[in-house]
Structure 1
Amino acid sequence: MSRELSVVVLAAGMGTRMKSEIPKVMHKIAGKPMVNHVIDTATHLNAIKTLVVVGPDMPKLIEAVSPHPTFEQTDRLGTAHAVLAAKEALRGLTGNVLVLYADSPLFTAETLLRLVAAREHGDHAVAVLGFRPEDPSGYGRLVTDPANGELLAIVEDKECDDTQRAINFCNSGVMCFTAESMIEILEAIGNANAKGEYYLTDAVEVARANGNSCVAVEVAEEETLGVNSRSQLAVAEAIMQSRLREAAMVNGATLIDPGSVYLASDTRLGRDVVIEPNVFFGPGVTVGDEVTIKAFSHLESCVVGDKADIGPYARLRPGAEIGAGARVGNFVEIKKAVVEDGAKVNHLSYIGDARVGAKANIGAGTITCNYDGYRKQHTDIGAGAFIGSNSALVAPVSIGDGAIIGAGSTITGTVEADALVIERAQRLDKPGWARVFREKMKALLGK
């Protein structure tokens, strides 16, 4: 690609088949709305402008694509009509303009660059991405010149004659235009069809009528998937997950059972990370080198330092920061808390709104009581502290470096460094009480 590139993303459709109150393109794949996948691809193409066409009353969509400018298609009168909603922003552009669809999130930057390069190479007015499905029924056919490969027409399935219907080269919808002639071509498209709409596919006919050439570029069918239903959303998710898993392994992570690991689009894994089966990554997770994440763990919006050991059955919630060499074991939940280097929270604990100092040890069943029904309070546990099993730390509380908390204690306030604190009710023994109780119940209940 040698000339400037701008992108128009069509996102005005509501997607009635989704049966949803939110715009179709706001549904997520790998933790990110479909429209943002498409915008991110445009960013990878170094587009100088990304223009997004939206429908009426879509404030959440407009917010999601910010800071990119949006243009409202008030009346949904076809794809060419949608692109022209951004007409004023398209005026004066030079180079190439790609038209993408916000409900087609699987096109890769490499594929789109091939399309742009093909348009530039032949100085074509329009370049179209095509694919070859096993069953072309329902798709518009790309009619090409066998002599030179130029695209002659896009013919809708219902308008094909027998010869055209036998063609298996189909229209994906994605097009690249010469910026300087794009508006003229689109404004010449008519709506003499059953729906009375202005179709972008007619751009090929208009361009050729003006004496310009067009070209089609083939792409794998998988990339062309458009999401119009929940089942198609699931198919797109599976394809995206397969790509993310492969990329993770190529970059040095070991996925023992790749098919059971679910990644977010922004998951960052270091080298020599080992991920056991049935691990789920929500958005915003960064994992350092030589980390082991054991089975059935759930991570979201957190950072895991080098050589840490997580799980099995661990949950790292937003704001969790796990230090190098730290250990977060089975059935441990960490929320908005820092677990410093070498610290251990091995099992059956909740640590929220807290700091756990370096090399501290948190005993089984320990919880930070961080919420009083109205406010979240902080717990600070010093370096090298030892918290006995089944302790409750009632925030706000501060435990000094090296302090020891006896098992079963409920701690409030401040514990000095290197102190031992045991806070339990006084033991009360009643010899024989249990035997007398059982005899009484047997007499009362007859058993």
Structure 2
Amino acid sequence: MPSHLIVLAAGQGSRMMSDLPKVLHRVGHAPLFVHALRAGAALDPDRRVLVAGVGAEAVRAEAAEHDEGLSVVLQEEQLGTAHAVAQAREALKDATGDVFILYGDTPFIRPETLSMMAAARTGGAAVVVLGFEAADPGRYGRLVVEGGDLTRIVEYKDATEAERAITLCNSGVICADAEVLFDLIDAVGNDNASGEFYLTDIVGIARDRGLRCAAVTCDESETMGINTRAELARGEAIFQARRRAEALEDGVTLTAPDTVFFAYDTHLGRDALIEPHVVFGPDVTVESGATIRAFSHLEGCHVGARAVVGPYARLRPGAELGNDSKVGNFVEIKSAEIGEGAKVNHLTYIGDATVGEGANIGAGTVTCNYDGVFKHRTEIGARAFIGSSTMLVAPIRVGAEAMTGSGSVITSDVPDGALALGRARQVVKEGLARKLMTKLRSAKSKRTN
């Protein structure tokens, strides 16, 4: 059966105390709404619709970066959840199958939970609502279940004392038959304490029309919404705990799990070793058997099998490390390919460059890639040896098996197998150091007397 996804992301989120729309705040380096999209992606939906409102252009821009096939529609006035879903009508015109409605500020719904909801739809329910047993029901809407079927959802403001005693609460996540969803929404009114069009009212309307409704339950932690900065921090902690557990289950060694921080799209191969205090930004892949040593920061990079990174290394976007390569302490790599078995061991910057297999880059080497306006590339051939404190002024090529002398400033191409020196000739003045120091100490003594 085909499925479709609607993610509601129109609210401002005033409790965040922010000029940024709530759904653009980040967990695991991704906007909150992206987590909902990723959960829904497990259903392989035919159509995906994001309902934006406050800050719509900023939301649209972020959405384009994460999902090119996503339709973004606008809810100009925030008149309630049913009104928000109604804005997706045209984007889902003639759709058949299941429509899943998720929330851009609820990032922890698991794909497995959505699969349970899909199974309930297959079992004959026209509308399926996700609920949870709340430790503290508070002001959540309540799910009223009778005879195994969901009969209605009651908002806290409108609930009786008996209904408020129910602990099965509404998450807001709904799956419904695509062909009847918008007919149900058209029948929703706003005669309630808030004067809003509640999506939850479709349950009662469906029941009145003889349609069966069902409730599926999940752990309360999945339904956590992000409404404040404190909840955002808690959400980040929950996300990180999940990702650490998944990494360990997948065969990754984390020597101090609580000190490692993941992004939403971090991929670690089996038998990778991650030492303490490592931070992964977006778009990082680490292949099997690689080691990321302590206090390293990686973003937008690929680390080959059995490579070693760090400690105290920084891999920036565009860094591509070959198998068995080494990037050591206080090394920064940006937009550069490091060949198989190559070594960049310490105190070095390699940017906009290609380093051939087996090359050795000495300490303090810098590829001087920026002239103030344009970036230029450096090419270092296979098995080249770059002496310590070499400045490679791009654009430049150092050939295969070539060498540079330590302390050189290299401004011209170096042929394969050649040795290049680019420094002033050393001059030795016998005894001059003692004479200078004697003179300076004498001057200092006169100043203090």
TM-score range, shorter chain: over 0.9
Distance in 1, matches of 2:188 and 2:419, equals 83
Partner-residue secondary structure (3-state), 2:443: helix
The aligned runs of 1:136-155 (5 Å cut-off) are: 136-145=137-146, 148-155=147-154
Corresponding letter in the other structure for 1:158: K
User: How many angstroms does 1:80 deviate by?
Assistant: 0.5
Superimposed CA distance per residue, residues 44-63 of structure 1 (whole angstroms, 9 cap, x where no aligned partner) = 10212212211165123223
User: How many angstroms does 1:252 deviate by?
Assistant: 1.9
8 A Cα contact 2:47 2:92, kept in partner = no
Q: Which of 105, 108, 111 pairs up with 2:110? A: 108
Corresponding residue for residue 329 of structure 2? 330
Corresponding residue for residue 24 of structure 1? 22
Aligned residues: 442
Superimposed CA distance per residue, residues 364-419 of structure 1 (whole angstroms, 9 cap, x where no aligned partner) = 11111111212211112222222221221111222122222221111111222222
User: How many angstroms does 1:443 deviate by?
Assistant: 3.1
Corresponding letter in the other structure for 1:203: I
Superimposed CA distance per residue, residues 88-135 of structure 1 (whole angstroms, 9 cap, x where no aligned partner) = 3344332221111111121111101111211331x2232111111211
Distance in 1, matches of 2:126 and 2:357, equals 64
After TM superposition, what 4+ stretches of structure 1 lie above 4 angstroms from structure 2? none
Partner-residue secondary structure (3-state), 1:329: strand
Identity %: 49
Corresponding letter in the other structure for 1:222: S
8 A Cα contact 2:12 2:54, kept in partner = no
Superimposed CA distance per residue, residues 134-180 of structure 1 (whole angstroms, 9 cap, x where no aligned partner) = 111111111111xx221122122233333222211110001111222
* TM-score normalised to structure 1 length: 0.94
Distance in 2, matches of 1:441 and 1:131, equals 83
Distance in 1, matches of 2:160 and 2:382, equals 78
User: How many angstroms does 1:320 deviate by?
Assistant: 0.8
8 A Cα contact 2:56 2:74, kept in partner = no
8 A Cα contact 1:370 1:377, kept in partner = yes
Corresponding letter in the other structure for 1:370: N
Corresponding letter in the other structure for 1:137: G
Say if 1:323 and 1:89 are closer, same or farther in 2 by CA, change over 3 A.
closer
Corresponding residue for residue 83 of structure 1? 85
Say if 1:214 and 1:347 are closer, same or farther in 2 by CA, change over 3 A.
same
Corresponding residue for residue 320 of structure 2? 321
8 A Cα contact 1:56 1:72, kept in partner = no
Distance in 1, matches of 2:414 and 2:319, equals 24
8 A Cα contact 1:255 1:274, kept in partner = yes
Corresponding residue for residue 233 of structure 1? 232
Corresponding residue for residue 55 of structure 1? 53
Corresponding residue for residue 159 of structure 2? 160
Distance in 2, matches of 1:433 and 1:304, equals 54
The aligned runs of 1:225-264 (5 Å cut-off) are: 225-264=224-263
Corresponding residue for residue 7 of structure 1? 5
Superimposed CA distance per residue, residues 23-50 of structure 1 (whole angstroms, 9 cap, x where no aligned partner) = 2212222122222222222221021221
Gaps spanning 5+ residues in structure 1: where?
A: none
Distance in 2, matches of 1:445 and 1:417, equals 58
8 A Cα contact 2:308 2:326, kept in partner = yes
Which stretch shifts more, 416-425 or 67-76? 416-425
Corresponding residue for residue 443 of structure 2? 441
Corresponding letter in the other structure for 1:21: D
The aligned runs of 1:261-280 (5 Å cut-off) are: 261-280=260-279
Corresponding residue for residue 172 of structure 2? 173
Distance in 2, matches of 1:419 and 1:46, equals 56
Corresponding residue for residue 186 of structure 2? 187
* TM-score normalised to structure 2 length: 0.94
Partner-residue secondary structure (3-state), 1:432: helix
Corresponding residue for residue 35 of structure 1? 33
